[in-house]
Amino acid sequence: MKKVVIAGYVRSPFTLSKKGELAKVRPDDLAAQVVRALVTRTGIAADDVEDLLLGCAFPEGEQGFNLARVVGLMADLPKTVGGETINRFCGSSMSAVHTAAGAIQMGAGEAFICAGVENMTRVPIMGFNPLPNPDFFARMPGAYMGMGDTAENVANTWAISRREQEEFAVRSHQRAAAAREAGKLDDEIVAITAKSGAIRMDGCIRPETTLEGLAELKPAFNAAGSVTAGTSSPLTDGASAVLVCTEDYAKRHKLDILAAIKSIAICGCAPEIMGIGPVGATKKALNRAGLEAGQLDVIELNEAFASQSIACVRELGLDLDKVNLDGGAIALGHPLGATGARIVGKAASLLKRQGGQYALATQCIGGGQGIATLLEAV
Amino acid sequence: MTTINKVAVIGAGVMGAGIAAHVANAGIPVVLLDIVPKEGGNRNAIAEGAVARMLKADPAPFMSKGAAKLITVGNTEDHLDLLAECDWIVEAVIERLDIKQALYARIDAVRKPGSVVSSNTSTIPLENLLAGLSDGFAADFCITHFFNPPRYMRLLEVVGGAKTKAQALAVVSDFADRRLGKSVVRCKDRPGFIANRLGVFWLQAAVIEAIDAGLNVEDADAIIGRPMGIPKTGVFALLDLVGLDLMPHVIGSMTQELPVSDAFHRINRPVPVVEKMIADGFTGRKGKGGFYRINREKNRAKEAIDLTTGEYRDQRRADVAAVKEAGRSLAKLFDHDSAHGAYAWAVMGPTLAYACALVGDAADDIESIDEAMRLGYNWKFGPFELIDQVGAAWFTAKLQASGWPLPQILTLAAGRPFYRVENGIRQVLGANGAYGDLVRPDGVLMLADIKLKSSPVLKNGSAALWDIGDGVACFEFTSKMNALDPETMDLLGKSIRRVKRDFKALVIYNEGSNFSVGANLGLALFAANIAAWTEIEAMVANGQATYRALKYAPFPVVAAPSGMALGGGCEILLHADAIQAHAETYTGLVEVGVGLIPGWGGCTEMLARWQALGRLPKGPMPAIGKVFETISTATIAKSAAEAQELLILRPGDGITMNRYRLLADAKAKALALVDGYQPPQPPVFTLPGATAKVALNMAVAGFQRMGKATPHDGVVSGALAGILSGGETDVTETVDEDGLLDLERQAFMTLVRHPDSLARIEHMLMTGKPLRN
């Protein structure tokens, strides 16, 4: 087995869908700038890149065509670099990392750019033309269930109170705000050039979030439920990218290695409780690596909703002090296709920053799946 | 200068900002300036803040959000040079002569030659405003007095000075008429002009007489309100609405400027109760409360001021025997032997007499005074029309008996009416004592005038067909609130056949306050209650057939709505070749509010419009989704501009700003379509079928879980989803208009049998509000 490493991570600022500064930036322009910045910052010779693997959850409209190829050409990658758009909903760009790792093991390339993008302003969640299969819907309505409803199901099944969810959300905002304040997000963020000027700042973080404020919100998905807009990740516009290559290649070219990929996993679950997806995937990945959850030093668990994050923390026995050190998606935002590459890149960077041995990046996926990536310090 | 292409408004207070918004509503770019805030910071903050507030205000000063983009905001220190591009500069700053005059000097230094400058002053005479200013400025200067809110109040009082160029007045008046939709009334340079001079007299008389007679405000408003065709706000609730503190300004100016002989001084005296209210901040709805208030500290109890003690007490139901006993006769009310009857006369006798006294003083003619009160104070009848109701002779005699001085015009009238109809033409008594024809301006055609001189071509209990000349017929709804019933459909069917034979084109238009409130629900409920399902289905099918016949008739059809055009009243618009809408048109498919869906082709037509014209992403769902959202939430366009956004109006349809010009514009539009007219091609739909229905139902189920949609909303939306998805069709097939109309009819019949829909209809009929079941 070759050793596959993460040797670079950048992302755009994440801003609120519709209200945020990226609303007017096309997703292809957004992703191309992030990919270009990854190449510049890592110093990789672009000719060496085998493929641009780009995750996107709703690859239609401005995110349509073969977005990966379009973005590669827009970013002036050499024409010899390929482009594949990958859709596994929220797990899309983490899947891109897995695909790259697999290809590297097959000897099908040494270096890959794994990116993700979602402009949820310009291409709405569910897309422009949702056309579910009527007969299948009759048989299994949960397969198309809205994410908020699955979050309510998880909250009910795991008996997670509204207060717990709100405490989780407040912590996410506090951590993200503190990280931003301390300049800990500066290295990963790429300023995006738009017609209106340069966009540098994350737009979703609300440092002023309080338990009292959250307690006043109405339930967002079910009048009798516990999940509110404040305990859900916001609709977000953003892009991210990581460089995935062999350790050998990185060392030869003096790239800054953040972490190595130890194991990966996918695991399905019931669509009605899709938020619990990380549990199965993480267990598989830990098992494949011969590790226990207690050995993890850094955990990036995507906060689609506070309810599902808490359920996963509880089921996996994770140490909350190690989860989402610089805040999670509730505070930072969750541009669907871009989140996987962000949390892999973030987990790798944190592992290096914190000086631990093992890191986990994991997330839930609509339709009932989890995906996990285990990282190891190099 | 002959046209106005750009306007500036200086002063971004309620009036100035509202005027700027309305100029923008007309599609004209406008500069809005105010002073630099004293506290520093953003130098344009005042004008910017005014625009931001207006975007949130209800009723909306803007006819569409897009109109706000036509306003350029700035301040009077940095941006006065912007005035150089403007053809009309409206001053709407604080009512202080020194400030206004200093501003005029600065405006004069930068404005382009020939641009018109006008003041929106309501208290300062033009003569005083111009004191010390150059003749060149005076030639281009006039007063343009708007009423609040400028979008909705149709009156514009225009005052020219001795030196004002006729052309300046003509250009501004024409712009105000055609582009801003105002009815321009020329006034003399007298305090309060016409409407406020008489209006303030009336209000003051009503307040002091009520206090003197020991009346309560509820009874006073019930007397000086509906019985006179005056809005039910009467006097005291109206003062609450406009603000009690507004009165002293106009009263002050009238006190100062009017000669001692003026009858105003007879009723002008201090009113301590009101003065105390103003001093304590009880200035009306904008303040802590007015003559009426809702007491938040007492569980939102409705309270009213006791005029004797000045203290609030629980509101009472008005109980006025005089009004009930007088019925429709104003004379009986004025003569009623009771404190209430005496009050009615004590207020209205002097007020109507004062109106008479204004002829020759504030206005040249009586029709200007009537128009000013109809449009400036929303009186249904002008003062001279009210005198005609009781009879000029009767009025003169009663006035004399009351010891009130007799105005000259009453002597001149010598008992004759102020208005009369001669040979089908309405005439008015002139200041010379002779009658003259009431001549409409060019481009104004009123059905009311046509009715005076002709008989309907066809007529039944619910509608009529008129010949409006040049080969154009006009179909008029005549039922209560212009509700649509089988009679309407019957006459529409007959009219289509008659127009085909005898006319070139058809206009659908009426002069009610509302174009049509939709199908007659009472009739539908009655039929449902006796289980007359066959009859109901026939009513739906007949409506569909009639509207289709209208759509495919071999002549052009132009619908010209004003006011509300709801439900079936909106559907008839959708079947016309073109729409010429009054800017103040409120239209939408609101059937879901009564548990039904549009069954006369409304779903089908909206889908055809959005598929053909919607600027939406590709694929089958966006148009379906948009129409579903619009109909399932009973979205109403609150202006013709918003109706354009909803595609009820299509590109090429027209908007008329001035209500009086609507019929002429619609007729011209119809005639323009005559040459080479071809009926439209029927649309063919490619729809996804059941899959779309699943997607729409999923969305509705989500709203239900959120608590934003009720259980029966789910049922009604489900039926709507069934229509818009195309029923059992598939993307490989097509559905024609008949197919969709069948789906509409079937869905309507399912819903109209549903007890929850019937409960909604009943509730609407009883309360006028939708039932959320």
Among this protein's residues, is A364 annotated catalytic?
A: yes
- Inter-chain residue contact A129 with B622, CB threshold 8 Å: yes
Cα B139-B144-B147 angle, rounded to 5 deg? 175
Distance CA B749, CA A197 (A): 57
- Inter-chain residue contact A225 with B698, CB threshold 8 Å: no
The closest CB to that of A131, out of B618, B691, B705, belongs to: B691
**Is the peptide bond preceding residue B149 cis, with omega within 30 degrees of 0?**
yes
Chain A CB within 8 Å of residue B615 CB: no
Give yes or no for a contact between B371 and B155, defined as CB atoms under 8 angstroms apart.
yes
* Res B1: pLDDT: 60
Chain A partners of B693 at a C-beta cutoff of 8 Å?
134
Question: Residue A30 above 70 pLDDT?
Answer: yes
Give yes or no for a contact between A279 and A305, defined as CB atoms under 8 angstroms apart.
no
- Inter-chain residue contact A128 with B690, CB threshold 8 Å: no
> Encoding tokens for residue B498?
């008659």
* Res B709: pLDDT: 94
**How far off is chain A from B754, nearest CA to CA, in Å?**
24
- Inter-chain residue contact A131 with B617, CB threshold 8 Å: no
Question: Between A and B, how many CB-CB pairs are < 8 A?
Answer: 52
Question: Residue A294 above 90 pLDDT?
Answer: yes
pLDDT digits (tens, 9 = 90+) for B408-431: 999 999 999 999 999 999 999 998
Binding-face residues of A in 273-332 toward B, CB within 8 A: none
CATH of the domain spanning B7-187: 3.40.50.720
Among this protein's residues, is A334 annotated catalytic?
A: yes
Q: Which helix (H) or strand (E) holds B256?
A: helix B246-257
3-class state of residue B651 by DSSP: coil
**Residue type present at position B686:** T
pLDDT digits (tens, 9 = 90+) for A96-137: 999 999 999 999 999 999 999 999 999 999 999 999 999 999
Residues linked to residue A215 through DSSP beta bridges, in sequence order: none
Chain A CB within 8 Å of residue B760 CB: no
> Encoding tokens for residue B493?
């069917």
Q: Write the CATH number for A275.
A: 3.40.47.10
**How far off is chain A from B65, nearest CA to CA, in Å?**
17
Catalytic-labelled residue, pool A56, A90, A114, A204:
A90
Query: Considering the domain boundaries, does residue A361 fall inside one?
Result: yes
- Inter-chain residue contact A128 with B698, CB threshold 8 Å: no
3-class state of residue B553 by DSSP: coil
3-class state of residue A234 by DSSP: coil
3-class state of residue B506 by DSSP: strand
| Residue ranges matching CATH 1.10.1040.50 in chain B | 195-429
Question: Which residues have a Cβ under 8 Å from the Cβ of B577 and sit 6 or more positions away?
Answer: B551, B556, B557, B558, B673, B680
* Res B319: pLDDT: 86
> Encoding tokens for residue B463?
């509608």
**How far off is chain A from B188, nearest CA to CA, in Å?**
52
**How far off is chain A from B708, nearest CA to CA, in Å?**
8
Query: Considering the domain boundaries, does residue A280 fall inside one?
Result: yes
Top residue of A58, A122, A128, A133 to mutate, by most chain B CBs within 10 Å, is A128
Question: Which residues have a Cβ under 8 Å from the Cβ of B625 and sit 6 or more positions away?
Answer: B696
Chain B CB within 8 Å of residue A125 CB: no
* Res B246: pLDDT: 82
CATH of the domain spanning B447-590+636-680: 3.90.226.10
Residue whose structure tokens are 């889908």 = B607
**How far off is chain A from B730, nearest CA to CA, in Å?**
12
Of B218, B176, B190, B216, nearest in space to B87 by CA: B176
Q: Classify burial at B96, counting beta carbons within 10 Å of its beta carbon; exposed 0-12, middle 13-18, buried 19 or more.
A: exposed
Count of structural domains, chain A: 1
Give yes or no for a contact between B326 and B227, defined as CB atoms under 8 angstroms apart.
yes
Class of domain B195-429: mainly alpha
Chain A CB within 8 Å of residue B690 CB: yes
pLDDT digits (tens, 9 = 90+) for A43-97: 999 999 999 999 999 999 999 999 999 999 999 999 999 999 999 999 999 999 9
- Inter-chain residue contact B617 with A221, CB threshold 8 Å: no
Binding-face residues of A in 42-61 toward B, CB within 8 A: 61
* Res B253: pLDDT: 87
Distance CA B159, CA B165 (A): 12
- Inter-chain residue contact B691 with A129, CB threshold 8 Å: no
pLDDT digits (tens, 9 = 90+) for A356-377: 999 999 999 999 999 999 999 9
Chain B partners of A148 at a C-beta cutoff of 8 Å?
702
* Res B700: pLDDT: 94
Query: Considering the domain boundaries, does residue A331 fall inside one?
Result: yes
Among this protein's residues, is A90 annotated catalytic?
A: yes
Chain A CB within 8 Å of residue B620 CB: yes
pLDDT digits (tens, 9 = 90+) for A233-256: 999 999 999 999 999 999 999 999
Catalytic-labelled residue, pool B367, B571, B642, B744:
B571
The closest CB to that of B705, out of A128, A132, A223, belongs to: A223
DSSP annotation of B481 reads G
Chain A CB within 8 Å of residue B706 CB: yes
Which domain range does residue A298 map to?
262-373
Chain B CB within 8 Å of residue A131 CB: yes
Q: Count the Cβ atoms, other than its own, within 10 Å of residue B707.
A: 14
Instruction: Cite the beta strand spans of chain A per DSSP E.
Output: 4-11, 15-16, 49-55, 82-86, 111-119, 192-194, 197-199, 236-246, 259-268, 298-301, 358-365, 369-376
**Is the peptide bond preceding residue B59 cis, with omega within 30 degrees of 0?**
yes
Chain A partners of B694 at a C-beta cutoff of 8 Å?
132-134, 137, 144
Stretches where chain B sits below pLDDT 70 are 1
Give yes or no for a contact between A110 and A48, defined as CB atoms under 8 angstroms apart.
yes
